[in-house]
Structure 1
Amino acid sequence: MKSNEILKTVVIVQAVCMIALAGFVMVKLWPVPGAAGPARDVDKPAGPGIENQEEGVVAQVAGRSITKERLTEELIRQYGDAALRQLMVRHAIDAEAESAGLSVGQGDIDRELQRSAEGYESVEQFYTFMKEQLGMSKEQVWEEIRYRLLLERIAMRDIPVSDEEIDQYIAEHPERYGEKRRYHLRWIVTTTWVQANGIMSRLENGEVFAELASQYSIDEFTSQNGGDLGLIDADDPFYDAAVLEAAANMELAEIAGPIELEQGYAILELAGMEATSAPTGERLYELARRDLVLELAKPQQELEEELLAKHDAVIMK
C-alpha cells in the first residue's frame, strides 16, 4: 500500500472508529420509551440488591448506580454531533444519487472491499479487525463502503479527463501501478544487541522461532502470536527501512539479524512472499482515472457541506 493510500486509510479509519463506536453504542443502549425504570442519579447511593430492583441501572461503582439515561446523555454529549452529521450526510448522498441516477452494486462493493483489505492476509481478517476494533459487522462495513463509493461517484461525475491526461498520470506515478511485492514476516524484538545475538544463536541451533518470540519479544502486539507481522508491502512507510531492505534480500524460511531499530534490535524470519502483477488495459485506465479525478475533485468536507445545503439539511435542536 502506498504512503498516500495508507495516510488516507488511517484518516478514514479514525473517523469511522469515532462515528461507528458512538453509533454502535447508542443503538445498543438507547432506552426504548417505556422499557426502562425510573432514572437514578449517578451520585445517589444504591440500596441493597438494587441491580435486581431497578431496570434503568447499567453499572454500579462503590454502591452508586449509573443509569442508562445518564449513559445515553453522556454519549450524546461526546459523540452526538458527529453521529448526527453522519446520518444527515448519508441522507443527502442518497437524495443526490437518486436524482442523478447514480448507484453502487454489490460487484462494486466487492471490488472496493478487496482494495480495503490490502495489507491483511484475507478479507476475513479485515472483517475480524473491523469487528474487534470498531464493532462493525460485515453489513455495516458494506454500508460504509457503499456510501463512500456513492460520494466518489458524485464527486467525479462532472470532472472529465482525457486519455492523454490519464497516460501522463500513469507515467508520473509508476509506483502506483507496477508490480507489488509483499512479505510475510515474523520478528523478535529485544532491547539489547547481546540478547538478540543470543536468540540468533538459539535459532541456529534449531529452537522454534514462535516459541522464542513468545518468551522474549518486547513487541506486545505480536509476541503472543509467535512474532507474526502478517503481510507487509515492500515499500510500507510505517516499517523501518532496514527491516524492508533485509526482507528483500532473504530467502523463504531464512532468518536474519540482529537488525537495529529505534526501539531495540530485531530478528526476522521470512515466512512467505507474494507478488501481484501490474494492472493492464482497461483495469489500469480505470484505476488511474479514478485516482486522477479524485485528486482534482473537491475536498470531501466541502462536497458534503454542499450536499447538505442543496438538500435543505436542518438540525432540529
Structure 2
Amino acid sequence: MKKYEVLKAVVILQAVCMVVLAVVVVVKVWPWQQPLIGDGAQGNEESEGVGEKDGNHSPDKGQIVARVGGEPITMAELQAELHKQYGENVLRDMMLRKAIELEAAKSNLSVSPQEQTRELEAMAEGYESEAEFYSVMQEQLGLSKERLLLDVRYRLLFEKIVVRSIDIDDNEVEQYIAEHQDEFEPREQLHLQWILTETEQQADDVLEKLIEGEDFAMLARTYSQDSFTAEYGGDLGLIDADDPFYDSEMMDTASRLQIAEMAGPIAVDGGFAIIRLVERRMTTSMTEDRLKDAVRKQLALEQAGPMNEQEDMLLAKYNAVKNE
C-alpha cells in the first residue's frame, strides 16, 4: 500500500488498542467492587448513588473511576471521551472488516498463513531480528503479534478484492522494474513523528513539555500546525532517509538519532519542527519472483484508484450504515 494507507491502518489499530487499554486500566486500577477512597462505606454509597440517580446509565457506567479535587469522573464520562476521540475511526474499521469478510466469502477469496508470514517478514526487513520487530511494534504502537497478523489478514484480503479484476501483464511488470531500478536497491528508511510550530519559541515551549515527560502524540494533536499529521499524533510514517520531498537538514538530523530520541527545533518550510525517531529500517533486495509479484500488485492497486474510495464502495455495497 501507499504510505498514507499504511499510516491509516496503523493509526486505526492504535486507536482500537488505546480504547481497549484505557478500559483495561480502569478495570485493573479501580475494580467495580472496590471503594475508591479510604472510607469503604462512603465510597460505595456514592458510587451506587450515581448509578441510581442517572436513569440513562447502568450502574457500571455510573461507577466513579477517578477523583480530582473531590470531583468524580465516571465510567460514562470516560467512555464518552474515548468515543469522541476514536469512535468514528474504530467503528468504520469494524464495519469495513465485516464487509471484507462478506465479499471475500462471496468471491471465494482467502489469505493463507504463508502469505501472512511473508507479509510480516517484509514488514520486519531492516530489523536485527524478528523478536526486535515485534518488540518495537509492541512498545511503540501497542500492537501484539496476534493483532498484527489480524491486520495483515484483512489488508491482504482487501487488496485481493480490489485487484481481482485488474490484469497486469508481464511486459508491464518488466518495464516498470527496468525504469525504476533505484526503487529496489537497499536503502535506509526512518519512521518519524513530528510537531510543526509557527515560531521557534513555540517549538521550544513544546520541547520543554516533552522533556518533562508529556506524550509526543498528544502534544502533536494539540500544537502541531500540520493539520494532516496532527490528528495522527504527528506520525509521518516510513520515509527514505534521502527522500527529496522532506527538508534535508531535518532528515540529516533524524538519521543521527537513536530510537525514541527527539531533536529540534529545526527550521523547515512552514515553521519549526520537533522530530522523534520511532524506528529505523534497512530494506533488502527481494528475489526475482517476489519482486515481480510485488510490482504486479503495486501496479494493480494504482490502477484501482484511491483505497479510501474502494473502501467506500465496499461499504456501500453491503449497506453499511451507522445507527444514529
Matching residue within 300, 304, 309 for 2:311: 304
Deviates more, 1:56-65 or 1:19-28: 19-28
Report the aligned-residue RMSD: 3.9
Partner of 2:53: none
CA distance in 2, matches of 1:275, 1:135: 23
- Does 2:18 align with 1:17? no
Partner of 1:63: 70
CA distance in 2, matches of 1:23, 1:159: 38
Partner of 2:134: 127
- Does 2:88 align with 1:91? no
Q: Report the Cα offset of residue 5 of structure 1.
A: 5.7
Q: Report the Cα offset of residue 127 of structure 1.
A: 2.1
Q: Which amino acid aligns with 2:186?
A: K
The answer for unaligned runs of 5 or more in structure 1 is: 38-45, 184-218, 221-231, 248-260, 264-272
Matching residue within 156, 177, 183 for 1:176: 183
Partner of 2:114: 107
Q: Which amino acid aligns with 1:170?
A: I
Percent identity of equivalent pairs? 39
Inter-CA distance 99–5: structure 2 relative to 1 (3 Å threshold):
closer
Q: Which amino acid aligns with 1:111?
A: R
Inter-CA distance 243–23: structure 2 relative to 1 (3 Å threshold):
closer
Partner of 2:293: 286
Deviates more, 1:154-163 or 1:292-301: 292-301
Q: Report the Cα offset of residue 140 of structure 1.
A: 1.1
Query: Match of 1:94, SS?
Result: helix
CA distance in 2, matches of 1:77, 1:234: 36
Inter-CA distance 84–301: structure 2 relative to 1 (3 Å threshold):
same
Matching residue within 139, 160, 169 for 2:167: 160
- Do 2:14 and 2:141's aligned partners in 1 also have CA atoms closer than 8 Å? yes
Q: Report the Cα offset of residue 105 of structure 1.
A: 1.6
CA distance in 2, matches of 1:281, 1:78: 44
Q: Which amino acid aligns with 1:88?
A: M
After TM superposition, list the pairs within 5 Å mapping 1:1-317 onto structure 2. 9-25=6-22, 48=39, 54=47, 56-177=63-184, 179-181=185-187, 235=242, 240=248, 276=284, 278-317=285-324
TM-score, normalising length from structure 2?
A: 0.59
Q: Deviations over 1:283-312 (max 9, x none)?
A: 221111111111111311111111111112
- Do 1:104 and 1:149's aligned partners in 2 also have CA atoms closer than 8 Å? yes
Inter-CA distance 17–242: structure 2 relative to 1 (3 Å threshold):
closer
The answer for unaligned runs of 5 or more in structure 2 is: 48-59, 190-209, 212-238, 256-264, 268-280
Aligned pair count reads 233
Inter-CA distance 281–93: structure 2 relative to 1 (3 Å threshold):
same
CA distance in 1, matches of 2:318, 2:23: 26
Query: Match of 1:151, SS?
Result: helix
Q: Which amino acid aligns with 1:180?
A: P
Q: Report the Cα offset of residue 117 of structure 1.
A: 2.3
